[in-house]
Homo-oligomer: A and B are copies of this chain.
Amino acid sequence: MPSNDKLFAYNLGQIVPLSEARLHVSDLSVQRGYGVFDFVKVQQGCPLFLDDYLNRFFQSAQLMHLELPLSREELQQVIAKLIDLNQLPEAGMKMILTGGYSEDGFTPMNPNLLITQLPLTLPSAEKVAKGIPIMTHDYVREVPEVKTINYSMGIRLLQEQKASGTEEVLYAKNGVVSEFPRCNFFLVTQDNTVVTPAKNILKGITRKNVLTLAGHRYKTEVRDIRLEEVLQAKECFLTSTTKRILPIVRVDDVLIGTGTPGKISLQLLQDLVELEEKMVSATAK
């Protein structure tokens, strides 16, 4: 990130070159990993589904007892300003709200707000066509309904993930599936029902959109999923803002379906891309 010297960021009330966006080490994110964030995809200058992301960001802040220093309208203005300044065709806009500069290194003070925008690379057509292998791990996120900055487990598992030749880690506590560190999980049953976990998850905006799109074509269910059901699924995929829909072809040592991306997964990805394009066109008008 520091190498990109043509971008601007919002840092502590000011728009500054990204390379100069710094926090004092007394910030509670550094001292205690205390903060929340959210991440919006910006396509051709349009922050997609911004309302949904802002709703969630404000809710995360509230649940962690952090007050945003900007109103929703001011926040939207800063985002628009950064989009205008940075001129990135495809980007991610990340808003981080920390516990602020703490006097005692533990008690939150006035929260610090950072907003950065970086170029985004979506999964390649090749990766989508091939699908990805994943591993599972017995874990459930703390305060899963809040988008905190705590990713200790997901990052700590990166070495294990690499060693296992997989690309993501699916959390399943006591055999009940919840989510990935940064993505939601879906499966398609043998009778073409699209299912996603109900509990102990961060409610992804892409998850919500995919559920809606799936409802137009298939039966959908939001409920508990056990690992055994995953291994017998017809198809599996993950959803996220940056990855859209990515087919899963192997879970631990077990091939899913035929071991290639499923038809329903690819159909839903096409529907999602069309929805995003429709949003971009609508905004451009």
Contacts from A to B (Cβ < 8 Å)? 1-3, 9, 11, 19, 21-35, 64-65, 94, 96, 98-99, 101-103, 105-108, 114, 116, 118, 142-143, 148-156, 158-159, 182
Q: Which residues of B contact A152 (CB under 8 A)?
A: 32-34, 64, 142-143, 148, 150
Q: Which residues of B contact A98 (CB under 8 A)?
A: 30
Q: Which residues of B contact A155 (CB under 8 A)?
A: 28, 32, 34, 99, 106-108
Establish whether residues B151 and A34, one from each chain, have CB atoms under 8 Å apart when the complex forms. yes
CB nearest neighbor in B for A99:
B155
CB nearest neighbor in B for A32:
B151
Establish whether residues B29 and A114, one from each chain, have CB atoms under 8 Å apart when the complex forms. no
Copies of chain A in the complex: 2
CB nearest neighbor in B for A31:
B149
Top 9 closest pairs, chain A to chain B, by CB: A33-B33, A1-B26, A32-B151, A22-B22, A33-B149, A33-B150, A21-B25, A29-B30, A34-B155
20 contacts between A and B (CB under 8 A): A1-B25, A1-B105, A2-B26, A21-B25, A23-B30, A25-B96, A28-B155, A30-B96, A30-B114, A30-B149, A32-B150, A33-B151, A65-B159, A106-B151, A107-B158, A142-B152, A143-B152, A143-B153, A148-B152, A150-B150
Establish whether residues A103 and B24, one from each chain, have CB atoms under 8 Å apart when the complex forms. no
With the chains together, A96 CA to B25 CA distance in Å?
10
Q: Which residues of B contact A26 (CB under 8 A)?
A: 1-2
CB nearest neighbor in B for A65:
B159
With the chains together, A1 CA to B25 CA distance in Å?
9
- Which label, helix, strand, loop or mixed, suits the secondary structure of the A interface? mixed
Q: If the complex has contacts A105-B94, A142-B153, are A27 and B30 also in contact, measured as CB distance less than 8 A?
A: yes
Establish whether residues A25 and B22, one from each chain, have CB atoms under 8 Å apart when the complex forms. yes
Q: Which residues of B contact A11 (CB under 8 A)?
A: 25
Shortest C-beta distance, A19 to chain B (Å), equals 8
Establish whether residues A114 and B25, one from each chain, have CB atoms under 8 Å apart when the complex forms. yes
Q: If the complex has contacts A148-B152, A155-B108, are A23 and B21 also in contact, measured as CB distance less than 8 A?
A: no
Q: Which residues of B contact A21 (CB under 8 A)?
A: 24-25
Q: Which residues of B contact A27 (CB under 8 A)?
A: 30
